[in-house]
Structure 1
Amino acid sequence: MTSTLLHRTLPLNQPRIHQLPNGLTIVAEQMPGAVVSFNLWLNVGSALESDEINGMAHFLEHMIFKGTPNLPSGEFERRIEERGAVTNAATSQDYTHYYLTAAAQDFGDLLPLQLEVVLNACMPDGAFERERSVVLEEIRRSEDNPSRRVYMQAMETCFERSPYRRPVLGPTEVIQGLRPQQMRDFHAQWYQPHQMTAAVVGNLPVEMLIQQVEESFGAVYEPRSPLDEVPDSPPWEDFLAEPPFEGIVRRELTDSRVQQARLVMVWRVPGLLELGKTYGLDVLATLLGQGKLSRLFRDLREERQLVTSIGVSNMTYHLQGVFYVAAQLPTENVAVVEEAIAQHLRSFQEEPVNPKDLARIQTQVANRFVFNNERPSDRTSLYGYYYCKLRDLEPALTYPQRIQAITPADIQNVAQCYLNPDAYGMVVVRPATSN
């Protein structure tokens, strides 16, 4: 059993890492306030599924709350609500997490319940069938959402083989074919202590927070051996980052449910496995298309009025990232907007960014990071995510400093290396009535 206090890199951050003999890692921090937040992160998401069970991790997240041998279905929610606490869960390509925020005096009573439902879920056949209908409805609503549809079409265009091209919710036909025992096997394999990071932050001494998590986990967890082999669950080692585009891969669609055209341009960029290369892309995304002072917003929306909306994101996944430019616009403006975006990227490649503009964006990005991590629930998300994916908290603590260290030459370099204005993936969705 080991316990380490990280060197303080920000005045208010002093998380402690504590690992249990069973493999569970606890990250704890005392923080002023009236609440305690707990966030259990599991190193499994849709990217670890095969095509045959795509959607299983998300479906399992739903089934976690359908009762245990010691807690009937609905009892967990009733006890949480009567204390005024908050609980929820989320599944992504790279992880699943379950979180609980409660008053400090209630935390010790509610934590064992949260761990009980995650670790000892029953997944009865009847509940499985009822929840399958709920998940299928969620898929239907997602497919009815224009932004979600365009996003999925863009990811399918961006990646040819990567699991990131598939939906987290899974396709309807796959969800319809899943069986309860497949889910029980999936849970037995991946919901193991060594796959988990428990982040806990609140106004209790760190030693007490760690003790409460350790004791609660020990009280509800029954050690079990993971299955030697789980069909349809490929390891990360089977996946390789896809190379940059060699030209423009264009996908044009017609959709009667959209009123204006949608344009998305994507580039394959480094992900968490090459974290040091992502910081410049984060800053460049902000310079290019985040906020009213960004170049694309000023040029294409305010000055030339070619788009209704436009934004840029640098999406950093575990294996690989996606630099994502999205616009909503009149159909007749698609060609000129595509060329304008490419030209703005050329300008970043050819000329270093103005140091004053860079300083403004560095302050904006760094401060946004700090502001978004002020609450205990924010901290548990921050710590849980980074330790779950990287087994390291240093990037969580030093992000503002790394952003402040970016130079104009760094911005020019990432633009030249990763954002070829003549090679990218592009999706255009036009209203059905357009010519």
Structure 2
Amino acid sequence: MSHPFNNLVEILSDSFSPAVILTENTQDSSTNKPSYCKLYYSQLRTHIQHLQQQEPFSHLQPGTAVTFLLSNSYEYITVFFAILAQRAVANPLNPNYTVDEILFYLQDVQPSVVVVAKDAANVETVKQAASKANIPVYELSMQVVAVHSKVTSTNSRFKHKLRSPNNTAASIQHVDVVLATHRLGSTIASSESHKLKLSNLRQTYSLDDVALFLHTSGTTGRPKGVPLTHRGILASMRNIVDAYKLQPTDLSYLVMPLFHVHGLIGVTLSTMLSGGTVIVPPKFSPKRFWVDVVGLGATWYSAVPTIHQMLLITANETYLEHNGKLRFIRSCSSSLAPATMLELEQRFHAPVIEAYAMTEASHQMTANFLPPGIRKPGSVGKGRGVNVRILDDNGKELSGTAVGEVCVSGPNLFTGTISPIIQSGSYT
């Protein structure tokens, strides 16, 4: 399906519509209610542009990779788009990886820089791995200044502060958050070799540029690099928006990690393509989940079956009636037991839509249908914007209930791995 965008950054409208709602672990002292911070698309674009003009983002060459290890946060979202705005490649990793795991991926991806969150628990771990790989590390912090249940454009301001490697500081007045980055020294060896010339901020994008570089497992026993293009991700996002009839009025609640396609493409980017709002908690908590979902009026969430089961187990203590605002519950990334699906629908009073996805397909391939369409317990539905066939070992299409290989085709699919470590091996 065609779309009017040349790259993922263009999906962000320059509007005063809410893009992200951050949930906090604190309460508003005046109301004794949970605190939230609402950030608008126009603000997000401004924050991305600020990062884009500062190191290390301003030095990125088109096609170079940036590895970042950030938890679900506004920092993650701005860093992701700032990388893409420079026509570079985003390579998010699990922030809980060990030194050896990080080192493996750094040696495989060979990024120009690594970005971590200031004062995060993984900073020293990342520094050790990056030092062994001879890659410079930048530390990013972002602090919300005004945290209110309602945010206006007239009474909240922020300072954007950047600390360069020589610790000189600059500040820019604007709205709502404090951004700060500085380069971590000490353990970085031969960092001069990684300096890049300032790239043109007005590069001509290509839909076939690689936007996201992730890893997935397979029969080779080693993680394999999967490059996803702007074209493929945009196609997948459009399929998701169409499948669930996402609108600007929708609010998705982010449960899954952003370093996987489920949380990033399946929820966050697809929500933004529709002009909707993403609710971003610091981490998933069954105790806090329904407080946020009901309090903010979330219209859908997507999760793996284990999280759905956690919500069911804790429902007697945590569930709050949502008054019909929850349009649907999506399940993906693992098979959902039919009994669990039925229990979810009965307990939470929303249709459960099971989907089938994989990294190589920029996430979603098949999905069941929203009411009044058919949704079958134990089924992942039909291809949504993707051609799906079941073939035998000879490539012949099977019919009925015959067992075979799932084969898919469509513009959302990647074109092949590029990781040096597996170039000589087969991909299955």
Asked which structure has the greater RCO (Cα within 8 Å, sep 6+), the reply is 1
TM surpasses 0.5: no
More strand by share: 2
More helix by share: 1
Q: TM-score, normalised by structure 1?
A: 0.24
